[in-house]
C-alpha cells in the first residue's frame, strides 16, 4: 500500500520518543485539493476508527482512514534534506496531479 523509507521511519521514531508518543501509531491523512493535488497530514493517534487501515511498515504502525486510503495507494514517504540543515517529510505519490517521478539514476 505505502512505503516508508528508512530515513522517514527513523525520524518518525525519533519524533515519537521526543514527544513521549512511543508505541502510538502514526496516522497519515490525505485530502484532494481543487487543483487535483493532495494535501497530507501526519500525527500520532491512538484513536483507531471504524474503516481505518492499520499497516506495519519499517517497524512502524501506520493508520490510514478509509477516505484517505485510495489517495495514498502506492505512495512513498521519505525524510530528506531540502536545503542545508533543513529536513522535511516528502510524499511521492503517483495519485497526486502534481507528482513528477524521480529521474532514474538521480
Mean pLDDT computed over 58-80: 95
Give the pLDDT of residue 45: 93
- The ranges assigned to domains in the chain are 3-92
Q: Which residues of 60-87 are buried (b: 16+ CB within 10 A; e: fewer)?
A: bebbbbeebeebbeebbbbbeeeeeeee
- Compute the chain's Rg from CA coordinates: 14
- Residues in contact with 18: Cβ distance below 8 Å, sequence separation at least 6, in sequence order: none
- Domain 3-92 grouped into CATH 2.60.300.12: yes
Distance of CA 22 to the CA centre of its chain: 17
Q: What is the pLDDT of residues 20-51, one digit of tens each?
A: 999 999 999 999 999 889 999 999 998 989 99
Model pTM score: 0.88
Amino acid at each position: 500500500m505505502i512505503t516508508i523509507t528508512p530515513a522517514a521511519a527513523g525520524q518518525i521514531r525519533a519524533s515519537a520518543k521526543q514527544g513521549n508518543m512511543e508505541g502510538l501509531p502514526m496516522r497519515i491523512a490525505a485530502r484532494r485539493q481543487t487543483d487535483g493535488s493532495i494535501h497530507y497530514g501526519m500525527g500520532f493517534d491512538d484513536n483507531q476508527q471504524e474503516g481505518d487501515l492499520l499497516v506495519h511498515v519499517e517497524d512502524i504502525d501506520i493508520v490510514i482512514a478509509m477516505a484517505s486510503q485510495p489517495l495514498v495507494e502506492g505512495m512513498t514517504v521519505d525524510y530528506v534534506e531540502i536545503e542545508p540543515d533543513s529536513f522535511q517529510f516528502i510524499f511521492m505519490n503517483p495519485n497526486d496531479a502534481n507528482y513528477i517521478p524521480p529521474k532514474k539514476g538521480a
